[in-house]
Amino acid sequence: MKQNIGIEINMKDNERIVMIEPEPKLKEFLKTQTEKNHTYYLTKFIGGEKNYQIAYKAVEDAMEKSLPDDIKDRCSYCKGEGDEVGDKACGKYILQMQLTFMIASSEFINLIFRNRFIYDDKPKLQKLTIKFFDCLKFIKNEGKMYFELDKMCRYTLSSGFLTLSQMFAKSDTLKSYQIINNTLNDIHEKEVQNKVLQNKDEDYLDLQKEFFEGKLRYYREKIFIEEKEQPKRLKKKGKGKSTSIPQYALYYYYLQQSGDFGYFENHPNGKLRAIDKLIEKEDLKTTTKYFQKVYNKLAHYATNRIAKNQVANIDFVANTMLIGFPKAKKIALIELQEAKTKLR
């Protein structure tokens, strides 16, 4: 669990804040170094200048309401007894809250850039930025402000999980499974590292692991169901003519290129197991190693695939086996034309 963040300036009653105006050249240099500061990013995240001004005005109002009740009674500036910024009794309180806001903003911006998939989802980013402002808390009558970093991290985690779920839903099943499996492996390595170094878990690894393990179970079942359904969908043999191994290799290659079938390499149990199951489903009279050899020769080398001796095979695959798979058929027909030019 992360701690709340807040700045408190300890000053004695006879001490005052002195503002030092930098030289023009230094001022100009500092301006170039802070063009993309926290204000720039928060404005961008929340959806524009108008939205940011509304949100920050609420912060300023909350700052003013949190000031000590007797602040005006002991303020030299308000009484007309002083005309400098340092004479303002509220100066210390406003400054410590502004510093807290800057640090909180930096923490939030870093959170977003560590989760780029949230940054790319603008509606979710805007909602999360509003949550950021909700995590700024003020202590009435003390002029103090703090940032609920733990709550903000959990909001970010929740938004990230939702975005990831949507991304996985749009991706190839096996690709999603592979990403999830790799992520779980990374989480496990971080857990081991934390135990070895006796570090606290500041990345919410338990929550991440729970989310990804749930997704892993879901996609494992999804792969199982899809594999059960695939034979009826993929088996497209010509009437009165057996389909050759090169034709099957081309068939699956084009299906993979069009996204209608997952890559063998992405299968959770490995490439050979994927080919083994394919042979079993299609009832092919061949071995796993031989099919892999033929497939690799055609899939990995375009010169072999669109050679003139493959014209008949590509023609058969495109016009017989790939009926019902328009994207894959289009890819095959393009390569058929390329192969035919080599016959001239």
pLDDT digit string, tens, across residues 92-125: 888 889 999 999 999 999 888 888 888 888 998 9
Does residue 82 register a pLDDT over 60? no
Tell me, what's the pLDDT at 236?
45
Q: Which residues contact 124 (CB under 8 A, 6 or more apart)?
A: 118, 159, 162, 163
164-178, 249-263, 318-332 — which is least confidently predicted? 164-178
Most trustworthy range by pLDDT among 51-60, 91-100, 232-241, 282-291: 51-60
Does residue 189 register a pLDDT over 80? yes
Instruction: Please state the separation of Cα 214 from the chain's center in Å.
Output: 18
Does residue 130 register a pLDDT over 90? yes
Containing 240, the helix (H) or strand (E) segment is none
Computed over every residue of the chain, the mean pLDDT equals 81
Check residues 223 and 103 and name the one with the higher pLDDT.
103
Check residues 10 and 27 and name the one with the higher pLDDT.
10
| Gyration radius of the chain over CA positions | 32
> Residue 243 carries which DSSP code?
P
Average pLDDT over residues 163-179: 75
Check residues 80 and 53 and name the one with the higher pLDDT.
53
**171 band by pLDDT with thresholds 50, 70 and 90:** confident
> Any bridge partners for residue 226, and if so which?
none
> Residue 144, SS3?
strand
Tell me, what's the pLDDT at 26?
61
pTM check: above 0.75: no
Does residue 334 register a pLDDT over 50? yes
Check residues 274 and 234 and name the one with the higher pLDDT.
274
Does residue 203 register a pLDDT over 80? no
Half-sphere exposure of 30 (CA within 13 A, CB side): 7
Check residues 72 and 319 and name the one with the higher pLDDT.
319
